Structure 1
């Protein structure tokens, strides 16, 4: 039996009993329980039988803890169509309830395997496949019929999402969010939902947002080196300026931001007003004001809502502003303006490396002179995630080196110590890691704290000399950071190449004499 959704602050309703009506009366009334409305023939609104039925419906709603239905006067043909279209409503309700249970089971299994995403791919002619993304790899975990997939996606979107459009439309791209506690397994704070049509069906991708607020705020636990943490700490001490984190989707940018902001909040004992603008908020940050951007139907509406949220935030007397993503020219310009008018700003952008952040920002409409000003741009970070080797099955590379091609051996020999007992590769057939050879992921990052000398080289277009100068002052690329972790035995060299590129592309040591020559 269908139960209407409860409104905020309302007690949980109970299912209401069926309200019988004769065939003749059904021509004059239709009770739409799901929408909470009662359709009544406009020509029979004052009919005694109709009025009596209306009062019975209101009474049953009150007994079930539900608000009274909205009574709407309509033509009789509208009522007839509603009865025809919903003749199997109870069957659909039962199906939706069962699909919600099935969805919760899928969510629970995904959390148990620490999946980052769930992919539901529905093929009208080929059935449904459910994948879990675990340590950045997709694993097929379930197959079913196309009908099951359509019902599953519809139930998730229409019955479980609390921030969504009114209906699920397989022919359009839609975004939504699940955040109600009773719809989530333990360990999750929410699920971000995105859908899109495909040639023969539709795809739903669910990003699982884990509750990691109780973990350390130390970014070294994510994989940052101590000297990099010291550089991030210097960014945190600057009262104004923008700090930008880049990296591909799923590279851990949001987690780095969360821990950084929580560490600022803790270190200042809550004396700084920190506000975020997120679409939508992903991870809870106790003590920090997190403002969501309202769900919008189009990209233009979404952009306008995001801009309005940033402008509103700047009027709320913040010390620190975090903008979840600089997605277009207006949001980029607002973020930079905030950094130029007395605020410390943190945000993210998609760029391939730390120095490419400047190119990306210029491409989005910020002048090079502003981007090359170290008093405005106070920090640039780029990061990726590498798979950490399972300690139970990893094998020393020197013992299995012959399993790799001559080309692979020659490519890595120039960058790592193949003969070292420390260098390991992934094992197989391990019960601890389900044969994946992976026990988690770790960050490799580039951290740039600009100074006038570096930015002067950038402004003059001497990119390579700027990078050489940065490296001469202790900077290191993601590739160099990966090699450090490989030589420690934490990361498989061949799997690391999937994220940071071939190891033989390691640059030569920074040539300080070239920088010095340029300066002279």
Structure 2
């Protein structure tokens, strides 16, 4: 679908109509806002178009459908053409360099790009979780790019560039549209040698939200999540380190909720900043002076409290940051709302422990009717299926410690099924930028997760006997799949290099953390209840 360039649309009706030309540009389809179908200006324009073109049909749609049509055309155009001359019109040379970095980040699938300014400026991008050098530029050019972003490309920031103290900003929508981004945020901090800058990029992929299986969740885990999301009220907390895909997973949960309710329930989000578009929801940012931590904490509490007056059915709170925001969020769930949020914790059971440490009453959080879902996830790199190496091809080049560890953990039959990273890569996974090859041997990343739907007994064990006992009960009685078991499934499928994966989760983690009576075989893992 493309917007015709030879069909002129008057500015006074441009919001109400859309032209979709056929491949030969002589036959067109017209889309008209149904509420303006009787407008004399629209009718006159349609008559004029019919006199110059063959109109295959006229479809009357809602204004929201027209917006989606235009967005689809814009996104398709940018996906195929990258930055165009129109995109770079009226931007400065430094702004253009920043936009080209954004565009490159999207092309390489990078979540962030970094500038380390010292004796020179090194530009790196985080690709599949790892930093890779893009290029080096002069020190002065790095400062020029940083100051350009702060002074002319951000809409929530200070009026001056201060390289000697921390600063944050959010890139203006007018620049984001040029590179097909939903959001981008800037942050810098001074170092002993200069300045460290990080730009987080958020793709505008709200119409292409992945499914849980696409993220890497196992079928049984997907079933547990579905059961949790069917609950009309309660708190769902997702944990994991920075960069573990929590925001994406919450967007998937949101899409599942909105899909099931058919748009008849209101989902309201509170985020700092919004981490991706969620069609059908009302997304609200935290408005506060980000240089003032106390003001930001207060803004979180006030935003959650005021959201309850906006008649939501469910809420997504980007993060529980402190005891006050956690209490306010939990109170929202206690008043009959479903609430999804995130918290930094090592595992699902540690979520409860962390809330206790933050100062919440253990009796409050150890309530299976209130805390309805506890989840944790990590991301591990997946191998290129075209060039990954077999055990026979890789074992000779392994150092003795790695070889002994693998032979001690896997049977002879299991070893033959292992696949390993090929650092040379191949034509399917490699891409060359600025003379540097990226993506060698890595196809992407997949989730390894733990999903707990607590019952009353689980909560009782947590309160009386602690985290380890509650986790043991989850595995042995509720049939929970640990992240270790999840990882071993992916390793035995040949999708994940065991040595790369161990940088995320130890291969023998369950042996170290669970009693010997706990089931640990991956054969049973696909059939458990989570």
TM-score, L = length of structure 1: 0.77
What residue is the counterpart of 2:97 in the other structure?
102
SS in structure 1 at match of 2:277? coil
Q: Give me the whole-angstrom Cα distance separating, in 1, the residues matched to 2:394 and 2:108.
A: 29
Q: Give me the whole-angstrom Cα distance separating, in 1, the residues matched to 2:409 and 2:352.
A: 29
Structure 1 residues 21-420: aligned runs within 5 Å: 97-123=92-118, 126-296=119-289, 297-417=291-411, 419-420=413-414
Structure 1 residues 483-494: aligned runs within 5 Å: 483-494=488-499
Q: Give me the whole-angstrom Cα distance separating, in 2, the residues matched to 1:132 and 1:505.
A: 34
Superposed displacement of residue 512, structure 1:
7.0
What residue is the counterpart of 1:456 in the other structure?
460
Q: Give me the whole-angstrom Cα distance separating, in 1, the residues matched to 2:209 and 2:340.
A: 20
Which of 411, 418, 424 pairs up with 1:423? 418
Unpaired stretches in structure 2, ≥5 consecutive residues: 1-89, 431-438, 520-530
SS in structure 1 at match of 2:202? strand
Residues 1:241 and 1:188: Cα distance change in structure 2 (over 3 Å)? same
Q: Do the aligned partners of 2:99 and 2:179 also contact (CA within 8 Å) in 1?
A: no
CA displacement 1:10-39 (0-9 Å, x = unmatched): xxxxxxxxxxxxxxxxxxxxxxxxxxxxxx
Q: Does 1:498 align with 2:503?
A: yes
Residues paired across the two proteins, number = 419
Q: Give me the whole-angstrom Cα distance separating, in 2, the residues matched to 1:468 and 1:302.
A: 38
SS in structure 2 at match of 1:440? strand
Q: Give me the whole-angstrom Cα distance separating, in 1, the residues matched to 2:339 and 2:397.
A: 49
Q: Give me the whole-angstrom Cα distance separating, in 1, the residues matched to 2:146 and 2:160.
A: 11
Residues 1:312 and 1:349: Cα distance change in structure 2 (over 3 Å)? same
SS in structure 1 at match of 2:379? strand
Q: Give me the whole-angstrom Cα distance separating, in 2, the residues matched to 1:375 and 1:505.
A: 28
Q: Give me the whole-angstrom Cα distance separating, in 1, the residues matched to 2:511 and 2:403.
A: 15
SS in structure 2 at match of 1:242? strand
CA displacement 1:279-326 (0-9 Å, x = unmatched): 111101111011111141311111111111111001112111111011
SS in structure 2 at match of 1:500? coil
Residues 1:321 and 1:235: Cα distance change in structure 2 (over 3 Å)? same
CA displacement 1:135-187 (0-9 Å, x = unmatched): 11111111111111110000012111122222221122122111414445544
SS in structure 2 at match of 1:355? helix
Superposed displacement of residue 502, structure 1:
4.4
Larger Cα Rg: Structure 1 or Structure 2? 1
Which of 504, 511, 517 pairs up with 1:511? 517
Q: Do the aligned partners of 1:333 and 1:365 also contact (CA within 8 Å) in 2?
A: no
Superposed displacement of residue 259, structure 1:
1.0
Q: Give me the whole-angstrom Cα distance separating, in 2, the residues matched to 1:510 and 1:283.
A: 43
What residue is the counterpart of 1:482 in the other structure?
487
Superposed displacement of residue 494, structure 1:
0.2
Which of 465, 471, 475 pairs up with 1:471? 475
Q: Give me the whole-angstrom Cα distance separating, in 1, the residues matched to 2:360 and 2:428.
A: 49
Superposed displacement of residue 447, structure 1:
0.5
Q: Give me the whole-angstrom Cα distance separating, in 2, the residues matched to 1:419 and 1:249.
A: 36
Residues 1:409 and 1:218: Cα distance change in structure 2 (over 3 Å)? same
Superposed displacement of residue 445, structure 1:
0.4
Residues 1:181 and 1:391: Cα distance change in structure 2 (over 3 Å)? farther
